[in-house]
Amino acid sequence: MQDYHTLKQDYKFTPEEAELLKEMQPHMQSLGTQFVEEFYDHIWGLGNTAQFLKDKEIIARHKEKIRLWYIHLFNGTYDLQYFMYLYKIGEIHVKIGLPTHYVNSAFNFVRTFILRSIEDNFVNKTQHVKEIHAVEKIIDMNLDVLTSSYREEELSKFLSMSKVEKTILSGLKKFNSYINFFLAGALALVAFFAIGLFVYDIYLLFFSDIGIEKGILTVLGSLLVLWAAIELIHEEINHLQGKGFAIGAFIMLAMAALIRKILIYSLSAEKADDLMSIGAVIVGLSISYWLVSNKKDSSH
């Protein structure tokens, strides 16, 4: 952990502010139970909270720890032991795989709760401003230490690798980004060809004996493929910007291509067998698409 003196200096946290926090403790402590209840209401609205706070026993234990942590915020003594205690809390959250988003959101609640509570006890403006400064600093220092465990977890994973492993990892990352740019280029090419296909289908519609019905269905089919290709490019752009990649878009493209085939084949009686098998593949792809998008929803 970074030296705690430096941490206090970086936040310009003064002994007077520590003293002020101590003076606020009795009032804050009297709100302890209310704090814990509202804290829980807040974090329970965060989606997958129950996945981490699994049973009544853990919840009861956590509630008590949260109450103590809250009271300790106003202890007035912020020494090595205090910061080690915060660091350990961070480590536990890293160990259970709690995303930092939860911690950040919980802190946002803590901040608003405390600011609301000191407003209730307003004496005069100078005092009020001093209290706000002290509270903001102690909250931010807490958040800093808690999230530093997350950063160090990443760093230690990297530091514990040998030189060869690090070289391989960096090489792979570079290679991966080149491939991704290549993929983006290839997708643009596909979209370009899909436009060509669309133009060609229009040409067939007007200048061949394909027939108006089949001609229009063919044009519709190529538009469908173009739309799916655009969707895929959109996903790839997201991926390049570090937002993850949805396999669903690929499945959608495959479905669009097959639906296009069905649109065309549906008009010719001799392709009935092909139609059946394409239909079966589309059903399979739809199920995969449903599974993939369901999994994505539940992991958010």
Q: Smallest distance from the beta carbon of 36 to ligand HEM, in angstroms? A: 11
Distance in angstroms (rounded) separating the CA atoms of residues 141 and 25:
18
* Angle, helices 32-44/56-72, rounded to nearest 10 degrees: 130
The residue from 18, 20, 24, 53 that contacts ligand HEM (CB under 6 A) is: 53
The residue from 98, 210, 228, 285 that contacts ligand HEM (CB under 6 A) is: 98
Place of tokens 């799916």: 228
Distance in angstroms (rounded) separating the CA atoms of residues 29 and 133:
19
Q: Smallest distance from the beta carbon of 143 to ligand HEM, in angstroms? A: 8
Position 84 contacts ligand HEM (CB under 6 A): no
Position 49 contacts ligand HEM (CB under 6 A): yes
Q: Smallest distance from the beta carbon of 153 to ligand HEM, in angstroms? A: 16
Number of chain positions touching ligand HEM (CB under 6 A):
21
Q: Smallest distance from the beta carbon of 252 to ligand HEM, in angstroms? A: 34
Subset of residues 103 to 142 that bind ligand HEM, contact rule: CB under 6 A: 103, 106-107, 110
What is the pattern of x (binds ligand HEM, CB under 6 A) and - over residues 61-80?
xx--xx--x-----------
Nearer to ligand HEM, 59 or 230 (CB): 59
Asked if 180 contacts 243 with a C-beta cutoff of 8 angstroms, the reply is no
Nearer to ligand HEM, 102 or 200 (CB): 102
Place of tokens 């102690």: 138
Three-state DSSP state, 98? coil
User: Residue 123 burial by CB count (10 A; 0-12/13-18/19+): exposed, middle or buried?
Assistant: exposed
Nearer to ligand HEM, 100 or 127 (CB): 100
In angstroms, the Cα distances linking 157 to 45, 133, 153, 277 are 32, 36, 6, 49
Position 145 contacts ligand HEM (CB under 6 A): no
Asked if 147 contacts 103 with a C-beta cutoff of 8 angstroms, the reply is yes
Per the document, the length of the chain is: 300
Position 58 contacts ligand HEM (CB under 6 A): yes
| Residue 240, C-beta contacts closer than 8 angstroms, at least 6 positions apart | 180, 181, 184
Binding stretches for ligand HEM (CB under 6 A): 43, 49, 52-53, 58, 61-62, 65-66, 69, 88-89, 92-93, 96, 98, 102-103, 106-107, 110
